[in-house]
Amino acid sequence: MAIFSPLVDRLERVHTSLRLSVTDRCNIRCFYCMPESVQFMPRDEILSYEEILRFVRVAARLGINKLRITGGEPLVRSDLPDLIGMLREVPGIEDIALTTNGMLLSESAQALKDAGLQRLNISLDTLDADTFRKISRRDGLERVLEGISTAQKVGFEKLRLNALAIRGVSEGDIVPLGNFARQQDLELRFIEFMPLDAEDNWEMNQVISGSDIREILERAFCRLVPLDSRDRSQPAVDYGFEDGRGRIGFINSVTEPFCSTCNRLRLTAEGQIRNCLFSTVEWDARTLLRSEGNDQDLEKLIRDCVQSKKPGHGIDSDDFQKPARAMYQIGG
């Protein structure tokens, strides 16, 4: 019998989490992620559900136990609940989560729940329709809010909002979002703006740090008390409001990188393995999946990718090189 050997890299980081992008397509065009005018990948370049499943079976044998489905917008891919149902059956997979912009959630929340999806993150940067349009270059705030409400009704318990606060665009939304999350009993997470936009407009001075956001929230509501995190590989630092109403997390990827405890791998929609959001190299699983490559070849490819992981993303270093691909092409 083969001896189990986990996915450990040169810095002893044990990889147990996989982000699966199922498409690069999206029904909106957030400026921090996609270009306004975009050429999506031809459909035959995107992995089929069977190919994704085979990859996940191999990865699960190497210790991957947590999946997050993302994109592009994962809910624009047809029959996504079928994929979730199949992934649930893979031995070793314990947790499946999804990140969505919420635009199609009203229609699909029940089917996602029935398929066995455990956790749902919904991206929402603003409660103002004009700001929503400015960010996403589309209308749709009402649909997202309906989606959140439907997800609550069908019984998703671990619902989380992901928000990006960007200087000059959405700093005025921090407090209203905090208020909304407290009222609706939703967890809220602020993610720092990273240099992964498609149009190369990112500037450090647009990043509102997690610690600045924390101060803004404390001034508006009450003290935020750090919560104990059992899982050191979790990128967020979590706080609870002192009055017991609400929980806020901060993913300070730019100002306080958490690379030293990163346990994540990524598979892009067209089957390239990445060991970091900011990786400039990819490992081609699709060619193996579509050729005579066997599971041992796939396993070796995954291990090679993990072994090559760098200590950190290096955004703050002088020789930082932005990846050629933007967030929607990688899978956030």
Q: Tell me: does residue 328 bind ligand SF4 (CB under 6 A).
A: yes
**Nearer residue to ligand SAM within complex by CB, 249 or 298:** 249
Among positive and negative, which fits the CA dihedral 215, 216, 221, 227? negative
CA distance 230 to 232: 6
- Closest listed residue to residue 59, CA positions, set 329, 278, 332, 267: 267
Q: Tell me: does residue 133 bind ligand SF4 (CB under 6 A).
A: no
- Strands (E) located in the chain: 17-21, 66-70, 95-100, 119-123, 158-164, 187-191, 224-226, 237-241, 247-251, 264-267, 272-274, 283-284
Q: Which helix (H) or strand (E) covers residue 218, if one does? A: helix 210-220
Could you tell which of ligand SF4, ligand SAM, none binds residue 164, using a CB distance below 5 to 8 A set by kind?
Answer: ligand SAM
84: region left, alpha or beta (phi > 0 left; psi from -120 to 50 alpha) = alpha
Q: Is 226 helix (H, G, I), strand (E, B) or coil?
A: strand
Calculate Rg over the CA atoms of the chain: 19
Least distance to ligand SF4 from the beta carbon of 23, Å?
9
Q: Which stretch binds ligand SF4 (CB under 6 A): 12-20, 71-79, 234-242, 251-259?
A: 71-79
Question: Out of 9, 73, 173, 192, which residue is the one contacting ligand SF4 (CB under 6 A)?
Answer: 73
Question: Out of 7, 20, 71, 213, which residue is the one contacting ligand SF4 (CB under 6 A)?
Answer: 71
- Closest listed residue to residue 148, CA positions, set 172, 177, 126, 122: 122
| Contact mark string toward ligand SF4, 20..59, x via CB under 6 A | ------x-xxx--xx-------------------------
CA distance 297 to 286: 12
Q: Tell me: does residue 104 bind ligand SF4 (CB under 6 A).
A: no
Q: Tell me: does residue 72 bind ligand SF4 (CB under 6 A).
A: yes
Could you tell which of ligand SF4, ligand SAM, none binds residue 29, using a CB distance below 5 to 8 A set by kind?
Answer: ligand SF4
Residue nearest to ligand SAM (CB): 332
Q: Tell me: does residue 331 bind ligand SF4 (CB under 6 A).
A: no
Which residues contact ligand SAM by CB under 6 A?
26, 32-33, 70-71, 73, 99-101, 123, 162, 164, 191, 193-194, 196-197, 327-328, 332
Q: Which residue has the tokens 């909106």?
A: 28
**What are the residues binding ligand SF4 (CB under 6 A)?**
26, 28-30, 33-34, 71-73, 101, 123, 327-328
